[in-house]
Structure 1
Amino acid sequence: MAAKVAAKQEESKMAILERHDTDAVAHLTMNAPERLNALSDEMLAALQQAFDGLKQDRSVRAVVLSGSGKAFCAGHDLKQMTAARQSEDGGKAYFKDLFDRCTRMMLTIQALPQPVIAQVHGIATAAGCQLVATCDMAVAAEGTRFGVNGVNIGLFCSTPMVALSRNITRKKAFEMLTTGQFIEADEAERIGLINHVTTADDLAAHTSALATTVAGKLGAAVRIGKSAFYQQAQMPTAEAYEYAGAVMVENMLYRDTEEGISAFLEKRPPDWTQ
């Protein structure tokens, strides 16, 4: 009994979100394995703080987000949500605030100047699947299962639907949302929810290699490109071309872009300052 108490005390001291950097890549690990890394109030706060801190960090050019233990993320913390029902309004104010905070965190990921890559294993369900869909890229281990399964307990995954329906076809998204059925990693790759499937043993190395490749590009070009990617996706085609053309003009005027083109023509490595 004493050993169990000591273990729990030690566990409580551990950060709910861990970070370590490798060169220009920041690795964030959700660290609540006993709760399958659920997006609890504490986890949402930790993720928001971490992403806010990365906004101005020009030393980081790519971010990898993973989960500890048996799963990537099992969605919202249902125990916290149930406890909120004890309030006078039945939890209404808490639920609105919860989904507002979760939305803010998801939008922050896409507004980050650095590409964010989800490193997924085990399961990614409900808001956890939303998190995968929100990240700019995703790599998953074989056997990983994805689902927006809230409908199975009477809660339609309406907010996860936003990110999911912007990643995969509408009919497939609607099927997942209304049946609550899970899909395997191979199908998730086929329909465009994730980029790559790899073995569990190679997952970290594969994801890190992708992040390192991205981090090796001109940071200023990737920053302007990521922002433009999401902006143009919401525009009609003609408007998107006009906007993207203006972005390319701005990009072409960068000193480091001029250097990159010169280096390519002269068959030498570029001497970039950013």
Structure 2
Amino acid sequence: MVYENIDYQVSGRIAVIGLNRVPVNALSLDFVNEIIDALYQARDDDEVRAVVIASVLEKTFCAGLDLSVVNGVDGEGMRGFLDRLYLELNDVQYRLGKPTIAAVKGAARAGGMTVALSCNMVIAGEGATFGYPEINVGLIPALHYVHLPRIVGRHRAFEYLFTGDDFGADVALDLGIINHVVPDDQVMGKAMEIAEKLAAKSPVVMKLGRDAYMRAVDTAYRRDVENVAETMRNVVATDDCREGLAAFMEKRPPKWQGS
């Protein structure tokens, strides 16, 4: 299949999904659909034993939602988009049966964190930065309410989810949301090295083991994700969400109305 926003290639036993939607890999519905389709393609290819998700862009892994998707969309349209981003993207990872690694260089924000942290492992460059800035524009990082507290603890998760502050790769490593920090020019090399190591295992044992692992660590996950996705839909319907998005687009401070 030919993709508009993704460079998909198979190198040996490794499928590499290169995010390539200029200028910052902002997530539109078409882009999310291509990521999902590429993961299914890797799943269905018996020659592929592991998957690496990286960015073709030098300075950005993924900046999060394309705000034009949210700004002005009706509730049903937002429901469809969130179902793809929150449910289907995680479902395909959940059932992939093959290990996935995110190779992060540059900025990973908001929905970009969803793409990265849905993978089994995350390799980051020393210059990589992370964050959940949604609260600053009248949105919420809904999916991350589910899994970030499970990884880093309730209090540390609350700080980053509700202040919107960015943090570097060293902090991300300390929090336990990434596996390794390497020089920026070694990120893909490290990701491919680990992918090759995983690809060398028995594919049937890897699938059975990974399936069991995903079930063990994600008990009640889908129910919780559906709950926060509904909250996100309610947030998008507020006046403050519309004001936050307008203020961001117009490069001015938001004037919150409390409604």
TM above 0.5: yes
What's the CA shift for 1:18? 0.9
Does the C-alpha gap of structure 1 residues 163 and 107 become closer, same or farther in structure 2, counting only changes over 3 Å? Answer: farther
TM-score with structure 2 length normalisation? 0.79
| Equivalence map 1:41-60=2 (5 Å) | 41-60=29-48
Matched, 1:174 2:163: no
Amino acid paired to 1:78: L
Tell me the SS of whatever aligns to 2:27.
Answer: coil
Tell me the SS of whatever aligns to 2:181.
Answer: strand
What's the CA shift for 1:131? 1.7
Tell me the SS of whatever aligns to 2:124.
Answer: strand
The answer to whether the Cα contact below 8 Å between 2:3 and 2:34 also exists between their aligned partners in 1 is no
Amino acid paired to 1:136: N
Amino acid paired to 1:102: L
What's the CA shift for 1:235? 5.4
The answer to whether the Cα contact below 8 Å between 1:16 and 1:46 also exists between their aligned partners in 2 is yes
Matched, 1:31 2:20: yes
CA RMSD of aligned residues (A): 1.8
Question: How many equivalent pairs are there?
Answer: 217
Matched, 1:185 2:163: no
Q: Distance in 1 between matches of 2:218 and 2:109?
A: 26
Amino acid paired to 2:61: F
Task: Choose between structure 1 and 2 for higher RCO, CA contacts under 8 A separated by at least 6 residues.
Answer: 2
Q: Distance in 2 between matches of 1:168 and 1:134?
A: 15
Residues 176-228 of structure 1: CA deviation (Å, up to 9, x unaligned):
11110111101111111100000011111111101111111111111111111
Matched, 1:98 2:86: no
Q: Distance in 1 between matches of 2:90 and 2:149?
A: 15
TM-score with structure 1 length normalisation? 0.75
Tell me the SS of whatever aligns to 2:190.
Answer: helix
User: 2:121 is matched with which residue: 129, 132, 137?
Assistant: 137
The answer to whether the Cα contact below 8 Å between 1:141 and 1:197 also exists between their aligned partners in 2 is yes
User: 2:209 is matched with which residue: 211, 225, 230?
Assistant: 225
Q: Distance in 2 between matches of 1:125 and 1:235?
A: 26
Q: Counterpart of 2:103?
A: 119
Q: Distance in 2 between matches of 1:157 and 1:197?
A: 24
Does the C-alpha gap of structure 1 residues 58 and 166 become closer, same or farther in structure 2, counting only changes over 3 Å? Answer: farther
The answer to whether the Cα contact below 8 Å between 1:137 and 1:195 also exists between their aligned partners in 2 is yes
Matched, 1:62 2:50: yes
Matched, 1:147 2:131: yes
The answer to whether the Cα contact below 8 Å between 2:19 and 2:55 also exists between their aligned partners in 1 is yes
What is the percent sequence identity of the aligned residues? Answer: 30
Larger radius of gyration: 1
Q: Distance in 1 between matches of 2:125 and 2:19?
A: 17
Does the C-alpha gap of structure 1 residues 141 and 92 become closer, same or farther in structure 2, counting only changes over 3 Å? Answer: same
Runs of at least 5 residues in structure 2 that lack an aligned partner in the other structure:
221-259
Q: Distance in 1 between matches of 2:180 and 2:38?
A: 25
Matched, 1:198 2:175: no
Q: Distance in 1 between matches of 2:146 and 2:22?
A: 26
Q: Distance in 2 between matches of 1:14 and 1:118?
A: 19
Q: Counterpart of 1:19?
A: 8
Q: Distance in 2 between matches of 1:83 and 1:126?
A: 19
Q: Counterpart of 2:193?
A: 209
Runs of at least 5 residues in structure 1 that lack an aligned partner in the other structure:
1-12, 85-90, 237-274
Tell me the SS of whatever aligns to 2:37.
Answer: helix
User: 1:82 is matched with which residue: 56, 71, 96?
Assistant: 71
Residues 218-250 of structure 1: CA deviation (Å, up to 9, x unaligned):
1111111111112122459xxxxxxxxxxxxxx
Does the C-alpha gap of structure 1 residues 163 and 37 become closer, same or farther in structure 2, counting only changes over 3 Å? Answer: farther
Residues 48-76 of structure 1: CA deviation (Å, up to 9, x unaligned):
11112222222111000011222111111
Tell me the SS of whatever aligns to 1:64.
Answer: strand
What's the CA shift for 1:15? 2.8
Q: Which runs of 4+ in 1 moved over 3 A?
A: none
